[in-house]
Every structure is written in C-alpha cells, then in structure tokens.
Structure 1
Amino acid sequence: MSEQFDNTAGPLTTESGAPISSNNQSEAAGVGGPLLIQDQVLLEKLAHFNRERIPERVVHARGAGAYGTFTVTADVTKYTKAKFLSQVGKETETFLRFSTVADSLGGADARRDPRGWALKFYTEEGNYDLVGNNTPVFFIRDAIKFPDFIHTQKRDPYTGSQEADNVWDFWSLSPESVHQVTWLFGDRGIPASYRHMDGFGSHTFQWVNEAGEQFWVKYHFKTDQGIKNLTQDEANRLAGEDPDSHQRDLRESIERGDYPSWTVQVQIMPAAEAASYRYNPFDLTKVWLNEDYPRITIGKLELNRNPDNIFAEVEQSIFSPAHFVPGIGPSPDKMLQGRLFAYGDAHRYRVGINADHLPVNRPHATEARNGNRDGQGYDGRHGRQKNYEPNSFGGPYETGQPLWGPTQLTGTTGEWETPKHAEDDDFVQAGKLYRLMTEDEQDRLIANLSGFIAKVTREDIIERAIANFAKADENYGKRLAAAVAELRK
C-alpha cells in the first residue's frame, strides 16, 4: 500500500511545499485582465492535470484489483522447492488484478470477453507473478500471432469500430481458435462478477523440487462463491446502466466483509510423461484432461483489502510471467515464451523503467539488489551503493543456483510448427466442450455465435467459420449454419 499523507490539516501548498494564497482565483493583470505566467499555482495545476494519465494497457486496459492472502493447505514439497509453498498453513500476501482483454479503459465491465487474472505473490524470495485468464485455453498457440489477433479485436483503421468481418476472418483462418471461441460464446463468456468466476494460470509451468526433479503444472482457481454468469441481454442492460458493475461489486463485497475466495488446485505431470501425452501439453489451445491428471487442492486465496488509490495501485500495478521464484519456471509453451518478454517491455514503456519501485509492485520481504540505477522516476533508494558486480565493497553477489531446472533440447533452429501429439487436432477438444453442454447451454451458445457471425458481410468468411465448428461437432455446425441463415434472410 502506498505511503499515507495528511491531506486535511494545515494550509494548501504547492508541490514544493509553499503555502497557496488562493485556490479559487488565478492571478490576473488587473481586475478582468489577462492571466499572468508568474502564477505558479495555476501553471503547476494545469501542467499536472495534463499529465495525470499514462498510456493505457494495449490489452487488459480495464481492470479492478484487491489485496489478499494465499494460504497453503496441502504439502507440495515433493513437487516444488518454492518457499511460499513449503509448509501447510503458510500465508503469503497477494494482489490480484482482474480485467477485460480487448476493451479500452473507458469500456464496460459486462461484455463478452475473456477476463484477465493477474496474481502477484509477495513471497520471501521475491515477487512471483501468475498471469492468466478466466479460461484454461486461448485463441492462438504462438506469440507471433498475438498482435494480429488483438488487431482484429480492436478498432478497424478505417471505420474506427470493431468489425465482425475482421474478427471472423481471422478466427476462420485460425482453426485453433475454435476451442476458446466455443468457451467465450458459451454461458461463461460473461461472468456476473469477478467474484463468481474461476481463474487459471492457463499456460503450463515448471515446478522443480529440492532434489532437482521436474514437473509440469497447470493452475486452477475455483471460485468459492459459485459460478454465476450473465446472458447477453442481461449484459447489454447492465453495461448501459452500470459500466463499472464488476469493479463496484468487488469493492463493495470487501467493504462489507464478504471476502471473495478461491480454492487453489493444480494438475501435475511428471516431466518425463510430456513427450507421450495424448495432447501437446504446451499447446495453450488445449487442456489436460482431468481424468489423466486430476486436480489437487493445494491452497486458499482470499481477497480482503481494497486499494486506497485506483491509479497508484491498480492502474500502475505491473505483472510479468517472467517474475519467477526458486522452484518455479517456464515451459516451452510458445505463447508463454513470448509473454516472458512482452509484459515487462509493455510496463517499461507504459509506467516507466522504475515501475518495480512503486509500492504495489515492489517485493515485501526482500529488496531488489542489482546495478540498475537512474531513469525516470528513480528515487535514489540505493544511495552511495556501488552499481556494478563483482565489487569488494560488500555488494550483492550471484548465487549460482538457477530458479528452475534445465530443459533438454534437440534439433536445429527454425520456424517450426507446434509439434502434434497422438490425439492433437484443432477441433477435438472444442467438440468435447460442446457435447458437455446441456441442451439449454447449447441453445444459448448457438444464439450468441450466430448473432455475431450474421453481421459478417462476406459469405466466404461465414462459410469458413461455420465449417470449423462443424469439424468440432457435426451437429454444432448444422445448428449454427441454420441459425445464421435465419438471421440473414
């Protein structure tokens, strides 16, 4: 939490501490005359006001957040040496930021969009950031396609609006998206609140124990409030009546002591089993079946404190999948590999090179010790300390102990497609998801999808999109084709 200042007692002052004579009239050249450039109160206020906003996030711009506690409830030391997971009952402070993905900062909470799930653990070994979504899968499997995908979700360069043609042209030409699109246009596509949805690490990560044994892991956060969703009609109404609905619900629930919580579970795969698993375990468009790797409950996450200042603690909060601690590391997931760079780079541009020094972002139980100095926003915290390594003045030193285990590599460099495993294709899991739905759920899915596809102006794009759903399930495709045709009569 940011340092508290007394803003009530004593006279108003400028930023430099000088008392302010008048905060209601600007200094003028005589009664009714023009204003004077020597009025530093006026100039300071206007200059600061012009700079109050920072660039919004390109994605996940609109969000809300809260502080909380993660508590370990099961022994996982045979899988990871991470200290914050080292004993049952151990508590770690957290900060969780929820968000919509594609909308701008001025959008509405109740819209059909994946929800970002960015969780910061303030551990004794530094900050660990787990940056995922409220869905276990995603639209694409390679980070090189992410800018293209987001461009289809944002405003068209000519019309200035999101265009159905762009969205469905890209999705229909990217059949790996069918699984996530089925999820998004189903009932869970518009959560009723941030409290009433699950969260996922989404990617596959590495855990390594004290003996050096490696495991692949997926994170699941199961809401203890129960799943609640909005229909499209309910969402349309709520977005107009209360654009801040989800942010308001989160804040008010914590204010009244109704602290939201999630049961934390993991799926764990011994590293040696990855090569022979039925699906590529590092493909973000696929899940691991629970029948193959059952979820194991390991902890409880509770949110119990609201931020005091949204801009300082939510807007300026930064998260990076590259923020690991000993015992946890990355996987060969191509989307994750790209995000390891992209998130940190985005924050260095958006918040500044010293964004990690802000209270919401800095480690709690340790401090950053390195040679990084200067740059905009630097507060001189290192004083006279030397800014190089090695040095003989008592400076920090390297440990020689990597955070995670090595990954065995073979072959030659190249622009390779993601390797396919025995049961891999782009449609099998989307078909499974469709067939798991009740008839009513399928009806709403078809209605949501057909309403959007019917807005597409080109028949070839429509045909291509429907063909992908038919490959996932024949009935799925037939029902969708009939619904779109009816809407386009």
Structure 2
Amino acid sequence: MTVNPGPPEGRPQVPPVTETTDPGPPAPGGRDAKDAALDASRAVDPHGPLTTDQGVRVDDTDNSLTTGERGPTLLEDFQLREKLTHFDHERIPERVVHARGAGAYGFFEPYESLAEYTCADFLQEPGHRTPVFVRFSTVQGPRGSADTVRDVRGFATKFYTRHGNYDLVGNNMPVFFIQDAIKFPDFVHAVKMEPHNEIPTGGSAHDTFWDFCSLQPESTHMLMWAMSDRAIPRSYRMMQGFGVHTFRLVNAEGRGTFVKFHWKPKLGVACQVWDEAQITAGRDPDFHRRDLWEAIEAGDFPEWELGVQLIPEDDEFAFPFDLLDPTKIVPEELVPVRPVGRMVLDRNPENFFAETEQVAFHTANIVPGIDFTNDPLLQGRNFSYLDTQLIRLGGPNFSQLPVNRPLAEVRTNHRDGYGQHTVHPGTSYAPNSVGGGCPFTLGGGRLPEGVFEHYQERVDGAAIRRRSPSFADHYSQAALFWRSMADWEREHITAAFSFELGKVGDRAVRRRTVDNLTRVDQELAVEVARRIGEPAPDPAPADSSGGAEPAGVRLSPALSLDNLGGDGIGTRKVAVLVADGADGDQVRAAQDRMRAEGATAETLAAHGGSVSGRAGQDVAVDRALPTTASVLYDAVVVPDGTDALAADPDALRFVAEALRHGKPLAVLGSGTALFEAAAAAAAGAGSGDGPGRVAGVAVSGGGQDADAAFWDGFVALVGRHRFPDR
C-alpha cells in the first residue's frame, strides 16, 4: 500500500502570506499588486523593432514575397503565412449570453470585520484593499448590439484575494426568470434572436420569448423588473448589482449564515426612459461602455457600497417563500441590508480582448468562508460556467491568462492542454514519495487559515425530478413589486408590456400573457390588453392572484427608483446651449457651478468653433448641435441671448426631447423663446405653459437674477435626475 509521506520535515503547513501578496492602498498612479502581476506577464515591449512570433526582426510588413514585382506570391513567405494565420484565428467564440460588455479594475475594502460570520479573506480587515476586476454586460444581444436595449445587465466581480479568486457573478436585478438551471437553455433559446431570421438583435420583443414566459409562470416576477426602467440604466455607474442567489457565509468555527449580496452605486440609481434609450442606441450605441471608460479616465472613479442581508440558519424556513428560490427577494422590511464595504473602479483595461473579453467568471470560484446553498439554479450554474470557459477560451488553462490569474500561489497537479503557460517541474501525481510528497494536502485535524473546507450539511432524500411545493408561489412578489412602484413607474411598466407584446404576432401568446398579468394586478392586465387590441381578461381566481402580502409586507419602498437617489450631482453631464449674443457671464456661471459640484458642463451651438457673446467675448463651443442629442446629457441650460436658436431645428429637437424625457432645465432671460417653441413640439411636455409652470425647470428673468440661489435650485433639480410626471 502506497501512502502519501506528507510534507517534508520542517516545511510550513501553509505558504505564508507575505507583504508582496497584500496589495495595500494603490500606489501613485493607481498601481497595485494585481497591476504588478499583470506587468510581469507581459512578454512584449511595444517599443522596439517589429518581429515575428519567433522573435525574428522584420524589415517589411507591407509587401508579400513575390517572384519579381508583378509575379506570384511565394509559399516560402513565412511572414505572410504567420501574419494571415494569426489573423484568421484571432476571434474566439463570443459568450452565449453576456456577450457585450465593458470592464475595469479597482479595489474593495471592508468597513468592518465580518469574522463573526465568515473567514473570507476580503471581509476580515477594515481598510484592507483587495484588487478586483468587474465586468458589466447585456444578456441577449451579440457583441455588436447596442448598449441601451431593454435587457438584464450582468454585474460580475472577481476578487483577487490572498486565499484565491472569488467571483460574485450577479445581475442588476435581484431575481431571475427561472428556478431551475435545467430550464436555462430553454430560456436562452427563447430570448435569443428568432432562429429563422436572426431578429431582433438585443431585444426581447418577439414571439419566442413571450411564448416561453407565458407558459412559465415562475418568470412573472422577473418580467415585472425587466419591463421596468431597471432594464435601461442611465449608466453602469448608476446601476445596482445583486448576487441573485442565497449564498452561505461560514466562519472559522464552521457556523453558517445565509447571505444575499447587494451592490448600491454611490451616484444613486438612475435609468433612461424607453424613447430616450432608443434614440441613444442610434446616436451612440456604445453609450454605456464609453461612459464607464471616460469617467475612469477623468478620475471620476465609480464607487459602489456592498451590502449584505444576513439570515441565521435557524430562520431558513421563517418566510412565506423559499429562501433558496431565485425568483424571490427577501424584502428589506424583513431583513435590512447591512453596508459592509465599498468598491472603487479606478483603472481601465489596456487591451479589451486580453482583459475584458478573456476574463472568465465562474459561480463556483469561491474561497474559504463562502459556500453554496441548494438553490437549484445556482447548482446548475456551477457546472455551466466552467464548461463554457473550456470551449470559449480554448482549453483548461484559461486561469493562467493574466486577467484570470490569482494573486495567491498556485500549485496543482494539472498538466498540459491548450494554452499551457507554466513550466512545471517535479511530479504530477499524488500521493508521491519521489517528489517529497509535494504538493501536499492539509487534510486531517483542524485546518489552518486559508484552506477551503466544505460546509457540512446533512441531506437526505430520494433522487427525484420534482420541484419543492415551497417554490410554487409565482405571483405575490410580482404584485409586491407592482404595488411598490410610483405612478410614473407603473405607467412605464404598462407601456413596456404593451410595446413588447405589440411586437408578438401570435395572438394566443398575447392573450396568455395578459391572463397571467391578472394574477399580478387586474387593472394592469386590462390596460395592457386595451393597448394591444386584445379582449379585456377575466379576473384571476381568488386563490391564484398576487394579492398575498409576503409576511405582512404590502409595500417595499426600496424597490422604487423614487427612493434610490444618490448624494449630489457628481459626474452628471449638463448641456449649455449658446449662440451669438448669448450671455457669457451666465455661461461661465453655469460651467463654474457644475465644475464645483463635480459635474461637467459642455457648450453646444449650431456650429463648432466659437460664438460671440453679448459682451463681445468669444465663447468656445465644445460640440455642434447636429453631432449630438439631449439623450447624451442629464440636464440643459438655456442662457439669456439665445432667442435665435428658437428657429434652429437642431436646437428645437434638443430641448423638445429634454422636455419629453423629463430632464431638468435652466431657462434664463430670452432663452424662454427657445423653451416655448420646443415645448410646443414636445407632444404636450409643457406645451402651452411658460417655463415657470413646468416641473423641473428653473427660470430666471435675466442675468441679474441668476445668482447663487438660482444655481442652488438648479443643482437640486439635477440631483433629482428626472421629472417623469411632466
């Protein structure tokens, strides 16, 4: 019998954590330990002569090797063959879902130690900075789709902890469409483009998606979220994130605590309205990716607060819903969210493909102190993510790619395969004696810090294919979401259902979906039916409606965007319209005040270059109106002296859209001429009213009235983001 001789005498049981593996606070310029690891992996210095893959210097890369100047290309041209072969193979399969995304590096630091609940390294020391990489994404569309489609957004965070990499793979909505991972291929096939014509790109407004959901009542709660404005965020930086599943924290004594993870943006939660999102997709299909990149480059580092809902194991069955059901939330009125740390993104990738495209997330990448629950969707994801990376990244060694490489030391007996970057010395099997028993395991007795031990839970039962009855309530939380919305949010949800179902050709699918909505709210179902031309549905049977209140919670204010604002107006973009004769003092006052608040003010005119201000001064123009649109800004200032713009169609369109989309405006002096002309074209958004009678509009009679108090009022309006009742 062969035995493992164990570690050599005198060998420490666990590799010590040295100062070099602790990233600490970022050094000047934002560099940290993860950056250093990435630097070390870069074998190519971009500064120097061009070479082949074998390091042979190249004298000409513009001309193939031919027989004479006009003769045939020679097969012996190894430079041509290498260059074309690499080009032919430089695309890898895109992700089946979450194909289009953007990412950035940063750090996470806890406010306090959570050692009472978990031994996870990144949640132990207040102020200790753990490097992270975060990728945001849409779900349905391919890499070439637009950013602002109605869709769920991915929010995946890779923590490079001292005890290994932890991936928190979530979305910007806290629930999901299905309860069991075996339905995931069906859901994705249904929401993806129709197979016969590959339409629509990046959207869910088509027959197969709604056919699936109308036959899958567990999707109802998620549909309410997806038809709300949460599905069209203003930016990644103003978007919540959720772990979706119930996970388990485990402390050093082995005691477990259920946990739900929440990311809350420091800037507040803000979204686009549907018409605005469609215009944005045409004006700038890269709107979200560009916004994230430019904010980080400008030093306006996005920040989120990590919150947790902690639920003792004794309370697993204390709720009227199943804690392991991924189509359910735990209302904050029952379990408050406890802020435990913050995450800051402070560095853009240097190469999109090498980092953002090749980053590999996996729900089963967990570390000591975090473990799974028996959530059937999570269990399936733990298989699917790894299997996906094997085909997408060409083999089993994708963890050696720089963006995926852990900071923790790696010693495995894994060998060979595509893309092997490591030269392994010694043996590749266990147990062994010729290699001194290395690498050795640490089993037996009390495990030292940093060693993973599965949470011990007794599970008994027959092998069956049957859903737990505790997963059977598909409507009460959908109804809770609907009741918790502001009136304007309900109107947007109604309009979204009507638009999407209006794109469905199969009337049986439309009627079935409307009938399903009666179990959420009868008035919602009747109004959607009216708008899409279907008969008014009968009320749902009393025992199947969504009227039940989860544990007495009738309203959950945390679900409404009205209650999720941020502090201040930092990073908001304000358009200042100018023309010859504009009041230059007001323009400067707007720019200075926005800058003081951390916002950006850009001047827009009918043409580029500059305009002549009222006092004869040159007013620089940042952008020409024909090249931009109000959907790319958060607020608009129309200073005195711009009455000539009332006849400019681009200016009229700009202000009319801002009015229609409920954006804050500041109107000064003769700027009222442009406002009133635009209001008349804005389909009722202020039409017939002076600017002083329209919600969200600050008005000043002239330059002498535009004092600090005026700008204080305008800043307060911008802080509210939008006036949807307009």
Shorter-normalised TM range: over 0.9
* Larger RCO, structure (CA 8 Å, separation 6 or more): 1
Q: Which residue in 2 is equivalent to 1:116?
A: 154
> Per-residue CA shift, 1:152-205, capped at 9, x if unaligned?
111222222247111111000011111111111111110111101001111110
Q: Which residue of 2 aligns with 1:6?
A: 45
Aligned counterparts, 1:257-268, within 5 A: 257-268=299-310
Residue in structure 1 matched with residue 252 of structure 2 by the alignment: 210
Asked if structure 1 preserves the Cα contact closer than 8 Å seen for 2:152 and 2:172, the reply is: yes
Corresponding residue for residue 410 of structure 1:
460
Return the alpha-carbon distance in structure 1 between the equivalents of residues 469 and 125 of structure 2.
37
Structure 2 match to 1:428 = 476
Aligned to 1:298: 340
Checking the alignment, whether the CA contact within 8 Å between 1:79 and 1:209 is kept in structure 2 is yes
Is 455-464 or 195-204 further displaced after alignment?
455-464
Correspondent of 1:362 among 405, 415, 427: 405
Matched position secondary structure for 1:93? strand
Which residues in structure 2 correspond to 1:54-73 (within 5 Å)? 54-73=92-111
Out of 139, 144, 153, which is 2:177 matched to? Answer: 139
What's the CA shift for 1:418?
3.2
Q: Secondary structure at the match of 1:25?
A: coil
1:237 CA drift (Å): 1.3
Q: Secondary structure at the match of 1:420?
A: helix
Q: 1:152 aligns with which of 187, 190, 196?
A: 190
Note the aligned Cα RMSD (angstroms): 1.6
Instruction: State how far apart, in whole Å, the 1-side matches of 2:457 and 2:361 are.
Output: 25
Q: Deviations over 1:91-118 (max 9, x none)?
A: 1111101111111011111111111111
Aligned to 1:399: 442
Distance 1:55 1:300 in 2: 34
Q: 2:503 corresponds to which residue?
A: 455
| Alpha-carbon distance between aligned partners in 1 of 2:337 and 2:350, rounded to the nearest angstrom | 36
Name 1:328's counterpart in structure 2.
370
Per-residue CA deviation, residues 455-482 of structure 1 (Å, 9 max, x unaligned), is 2222221111011111012222122212
With the length of structure 1 as denominator, give the TM-score of the two structures: 0.96
Inter-partner Cα distance in structure 2 for 1:117 and 1:245: 17
Offset at residue 8 of structure 1 (A): 2.5
Aligned to 1:127: 165
Q: Distance in 2 between matches of 1:380 and 1:224?
A: 41
Give the corresponding residue for 2:532.
Answer: 484
Q: Give the drift of 1:356.
A: 0.2
Q: What is the CA–CA distance in structure 1 between the aligned matches of 2:398 and 2:109, rounded to whole Å? A: 28
Q: Distance in 1 between matches of 2:318 and 2:466?
A: 19
Alpha-carbon contact 1:208-1:404 (below 8 Å) kept: no
CA distance in 2 between partners of 1:380 and 1:187 (Å): 47
**Aligned equivalents of 1:247, 1:440: Cα separation in 2:** 28
Report what 2:560 is aligned to. none
| AA partner of residue 275 (structure 1) | F
Consecutive unaligned residues in structure 1, runs of 5 or more: none
Q: Structure 1: which amino acid aligns with 2:475?
A: F
User: How far does residue 486 in structure 1 lie from its aligned partner after superposition?
Assistant: 7.9
User: Which residue, out of 382, 388, 406, partners 2:429?
Assistant: 388
- In our comparison, the structure showing a higher alpha carbon Rg is 2
Tell me, in whole angstroms, the C-alpha distance in 2 between the residues paired with 1:134 and 1:212: 31
Q: Distance in 2 between matches of 1:136 and 1:29?
A: 65
Matched with 2:288 is 246
Deviations 1:316-338 (A, max 9, x none): 00010101111101111111000
SS at match of 2:518: helix
4+ residue segments displaced more than 4 Å = none
Per-residue Cα deviation, 1:120-149 (whole angstroms, up to 9, x for no partner): 000111001110101100000100000000
Tell me by how many angstroms 1:343 deviates.
0.2
User: Of 317, 321, 343, which aligns to 2:385?
Assistant: 343
8 A Cα contact 1:74 1:297, kept in partner: no
User: Which runs of 5 or more residues in structure 2 are unaligned?
Assistant: 1-37, 536-726
- 50, 57, 82: which one aligns with 2:88: 50
Alignment-derived partner of residue 88 in structure 1: 126
Q: How far is the alpha carbon of 1:59 from its aligned partner?
A: 0.7
* Equivalent position of 2:223 in the other structure: 181
TM-score (norm 2): 0.65
Q: Shift of the alpha carbon at 1:13?
A: 1.3
**What is the letter of the counterpart of residue 150 of structure 1?**
V
Q: Does 1:353 align with 2:396?
A: yes
Report what 2:522 is aligned to: 474
What's the counterpart of residue 114 of structure 2? Answer: 76
Letter in 2 for 1:258: D
User: What displacement does 1:389 show?
Assistant: 1.4
What is the deviation of 1:398? 2.1
